Chains A and B, each alone.
Chain A
Amino acid sequence: MANIDSGIFSSYKRNTDLFDELFDENGSIKSVYQELFDLYGAHSIKDYVNLNDKAKASFFNQGITFQVYGKNETQEKIFPFDLFPRIIDSNEWEIIEKGSIQRSKALNLFLWDIYHEKQIIKDGIVPLELISSSNNYLHQMMNLDPPGGIYNHISGTDIIKHSDGNFYVLEDNIRCPSGVSYVICNRTALKRALFGVFNHYKTHTVTDYGENLLDLLESVKPKGVDNPVCVVITPGMYNSAFYEHSYLAKTMGIELVQGSDLFVENDFVYMKTIRGPIKVDVIYRRIDDLFLDPLEFKPDSALGVPGLFAAYKKGNVTLANAPGTGVADDKAVYTYMPQIIKYYLDEEPILNNVHTYHCSRPDELKYVLEHVHELVIKPVDEAGGYGISIGNKLTKAEIENVKKQIKESPRKYVAQPIMSLSVHPTYIDKSESFEQRHIDLRTFTILGKDKEYVLKGGLTRVALEKGNLIVNSSQGGGSKDTWVLKN
């Protein structure tokens, strides 16, 4: 039997100020992890290093890699993966699952409303500027009824556990959230390396995502189509998420197309096959709104399909997610989520929102400028962890610089208290030992016509640099297999 004083956890340094997922405040193992701790503790660090190297090679050989855009060259890297899984028990999961669905539904109703009657603005719940000043608002979507009434078919919700032990949502991603393929690959890699540990836990499967996604796509087919032809559209193989696009197409058994594979004729969309054109009914698109159609949006986009939006407007093809969803996952809308949920669903939010200061409001701007050192400053419309400043990590000069930027365009920034993401023991190559690292969780929610589903697992992302709070893969984050336990 392993204990804290020997085996792979012997040099684990526990900072008691942080919320540790494995150890309680007294340093005892939480009951749900006890068995796993015993199993892993029985290994020497050498065994572990060995397994870890094998897992890495397996990822590399399978080509499960992503591109990092550097200053000079683009590099092919594996997504760092940690063999010690994160466990979420069924009670905690229930909160996460219900909370994720609640948010996705509320966002969907919000989108319908702001692209139709705008009742929520008329009722004074959210200000008009929220919409009118957003870069992601598409006037082209006004009064359009997407099939099944669904805008955000696939949502990625980024959830953390704060030092108070409660879950908070940091972000809703309802444009083209990525990462789901890693959830499945992490599971596969862990099974290959340490299949024995699965005998001791009853864990939900994560391999049913593809079937559910295909069900969803088929459920939102255009009117009058019996057997819809569904495709995934990708910007191409040099996109950082190309592996995921090909993985999803493969598991759903549908074609992975690029813009140049499609054309539009009489407002219908066709793909060019070896046997001539075949009509396409539903497109799971992994390219951004503005690149979808050069005739409607960015005229120089080579990724999209000329005429696609007109076909969409006529209801001849479904796009998932719908164009224009970005207006609702921007960080300014986020701050109104409790009110939005209450307004449409008449429910209290299940998952907490982090309190947010709007730099667009003079009094809040004043507070932010005075407290930069203890806040996280975020640009409202950047994805991937870019442009985030964490106050207590900045030098004086940097703080002044941030203040200057905020003053120049207050609407562009929001600020939040620095949340303390929970930590999880994570194997660190450099020190060849387990160390505390901050983690979050991205859940994947599918919303279809009469269908809702949350992948039972999600992507636990790990900030691999000591003390770092930013978990995005583009910023050097890794991930863990995430086990949701059955009752």
Chain B
Amino acid sequence: MLARVANNLFWMGRYIERSEHIARYLNVNYFSSLDAPNSLSQSRQFVLHSMLFMVGEKEEDPTKVLIEEDVLFKIGLDPDSPNSILNNIKYARENANSARDLISTELYESLNKFYHFSVNYPVATFVKNGLYDFTTNITEITSVLRGKIRGTLLHNEVYAIIMMGMNIERATQITRIINSKYNDALKAQLNCGEPLSKSFEWTTLLKCTESYDMMRRFYKKTPTSISTLEFLVLNPNCPRSVMNSLNQVYQHILLLDTNRYYNKSSTAFLVGKVKSEYQYKHIEEIEGNIKSFIESILESLSQISIKMEKEFFNY
């Protein structure tokens, strides 16, 4: 496979995954705030600031009054905002375009329909009353895309590259969402005296990652900071957890090259090392210092990405 095309497929995977997480974040935060237990979590300003924080467009002045329609437009459909859902989908399709000869017709057709759906979505509807409809559609279509990736591509190096992109991105986005909700929980503690460990924001966090039902099933208890983090970071069976994503990254890097994990400068070696680190971590280590955990996992993921670039995409 051409190095350039591999790079494009890697990013196609990342952009598809990213658009889904942003869409879900908007959806869940907006709708769970409507009847949130404390006044802060219920406030629209709080939610809008949280949304901007999550997509990396944090408003530096926390007291600034945000206009709902502007924020939704900026994150959803703004063609001039590089992080908007629309642009993520556009980049995904552009990357797929350049690798059209390698991916299946079925996958391309779905992705192309996905693009046309988003680009033609009426902006006025979206910012007034289309948030639920639009974001639900995005998450549904990304599931279809995931199905097409799994079901209509040979499970060879093309597939492995896409899956690596998706899983690195998933781990990254889950961490970002944790960071964002952790930040919100701190605010809620400061403002309303809601104890951090029992914050309402942990429930929202689980819903943002589509993990609430799974978590309830596993712990059979109301989510707390420690159980939520344990579940979303360390539980290898939760398909959204950082651990699960790392395992997938490892599995697919081996599919890409079965020999390189002996070589200490290879991506496979690095992924294995990071994976093992989290495999043998326990939640108390993380809970004590959530901030530095978040920084360190994001750093490791970015190191993996840089390594991949050097090893496979260097053209």
Q: Per-position contact with A for B152-196: 1 when CB-CB < 8 Å, else 0?
A: 000001000100000000000000000000000000000000000
* Given A237-B97, A246-B100, A256-B101, also A274-B157 (CB < 8 A): yes
From residue A73, how far is it (CB to closest CB) to chain B in Å? 13
Instruction: Decide if A250 touches B100 in the complex (CB within 8 Å).
Output: yes
Closest approach, in angstroms, between the C-beta of B309 and any C-beta of chain A? Answer: 11
Known: A62-B108, A274-B157. A255 touches B116 (CB 8 A): no
Contact present for A261 and B101 (CB under 8 Å): no
A242–B96 Cα distance when bound, in Å, is 13
Q: Which of A's residues lie within 8 Å of B, judged by CB?
A: 60-63, 236-237, 242-243, 246-247, 249-250, 255-258, 260-261, 271-274
List the A side residues contacting B67 at CB < 8 Å.
Answer: none
Complex Cα distance, B106 from A61, in Å, reads 10
Quick check: is B32 within 8 A (CB to CB) of the other chain?
A: no
Q: Is the CB of A61 within 8 A of B101?
A: no
- A243–B108 Cα distance when bound, in Å, is 12
* A272 in contact with B101 (CB, 8 Å): no
Contact A260:B105 (CB < 8 A) given known A61-B112, A272-B4, A274-B6: no
User: In the bound complex, do residue A62 and residue B315 qualify as a contact, i.e. CB atoms below 8 Å apart?
Assistant: no
Q: Are A61 and B113 in contact (CB under 8 A)?
A: yes
Within 8 A of A (CB), among B97-155: 97-98, 100-102, 105, 108-109, 112-113, 116
Q: Is B293 an interface residue (CB 8 A)?
A: no
Which of B4, B116, B256 is close to A258, meaning CB atoms less than 8 Å apart?
B4
| Contact string against A for B residues 1-41, beta-carbon threshold 8 Å, 1 for contact and 0 otherwise | 11111100000000000000000000000000000000000
Query: B5: which A residues are within 8 A, CB to CB?
Result: 255-256, 261
Q: Are A261 and B108 in contact (CB under 8 A)?
A: no
Q: How far is the CA of A261 from the CA of B6 in the complex (A)?
A: 12
Closest 6 A/B residue pairs (Cβ) = A249-B101, A246-B100, A250-B101, A274-B312, A272-B315, A63-B112
A260 touching B4 by the CB < 8 A rule? yes
Q: Which residues of A contact B98 (CB under 8 A)?
A: 236-237
Chain B residue numbers with a CB within 8 Å of A258 are 4
Residue of A with least CB distance to B308: A274
Most A Cβ at <10 Å: residue of B5, B157, B161: B5
User: Are the CB atoms of B109 and A272 closer together than 8 Å?
Assistant: no
How far, in angstroms, from A271 to B161 measured CA to CA in the complex? 19
B82-101 vs A, Cβ < 8 Å mask (1 yes, 0 no): 00000000000010011011
A257 to B102, CA, bound (A): 12
Q: Which of A63, A236, A242, A274 contacts B109 (CB 8 A)?
A: A63
A-B contact pairs, 5 of them (CB 8 A): A61-B112, A63-B97, A63-B109, A258-B4, A271-B2
Scoring B residues 271 to 304 as 1 if CB is less than 8 Å from chain A, else 0, what string do you get? 0000000000000000000000000000000000
Question: With the chains together, A271 CA to B5 CA distance in Å?
Answer: 12
How far is the CB of B117 from the nearest CB of chain A, in Å? Answer: 11
Query: For residue A249, which residues in chain B have a CB less than 8 angstroms away from its CB?
Result: 101
Q: Contact between B2 and A62 (Cβ–Cβ < 8 Å)?
A: no
Q: Once bound together, how far apart are the Cα atoms of A273 and B2, in whole Å?
A: 4
Which of B3, B94, B109 meets A273, CB within 8 Å? Answer: B3
A272 & B108 in contact (Cβ 8 Å cutoff): no
- Which residues of chain A come closer than 8 Å to B108, judged between CB atoms? 62-63
Indicate if the CB atoms of A261 and B315 lie closer than 8 Å.
Answer: yes
Q: Which residues of A contact B112 (CB under 8 A)?
A: 61-63
Q: Name the residue of chain A whose CB is nearest to the CB of B115.
A: A63
- Does A261 lie within 8 Å of B97, measured CB to CB? no
Q: CA separation between A60 and B108, bound complex, in Å? A: 12
Interface residues of B in 228-280 (CB under 8 A from A): 256
Q: Quick one: which of A60, A236, A243, A272 has the most chain B CB within 10 A?
A: A272
Q: B311 to chain A: closest CB distance in Å? A: 8
Task: Please tell me if the beta carbons of A255 and B97 are within 8 angstroms of each other in the complex.
Answer: no
Let me know if B116 and A274 touch, CB within 8 A: no
Known contacts A62-B108, A247-B100, A258-B4; 8 further A-B pairs (Cβ under 8 A)? A61-B109, A62-B112, A63-B100, A63-B108, A236-B98, A246-B101, A255-B101, A274-B161
List the A side residues contacting B314 at CB < 8 Å: 272
What B residues does A246 contact at CB under 8 A? 100-101
B2 and A261 contacting across the interface, CB-CB below 8 Å: yes
Q: State the CA gap A257–B100 with chains docked (Å).
A: 12
Q: Are A272 and B97 in contact (CB under 8 A)?
A: no
Q: What mask results when residues 49 to 79 of chain B are scored 1 for a CB within 8 Å of chain A, else 0?
A: 0000000000000000000000000000000
Q: Which residue of A lies closest to B104 (CB)?
A: A250
A236 to B100 Cα, complex, angstroms: 12
In-complex Cβ contact of A255 among B2, B94, B161 (8 A): B2
Residue of A nearest to B113 (CB): A61
A257 close to B97 (CB less than 8 A): no
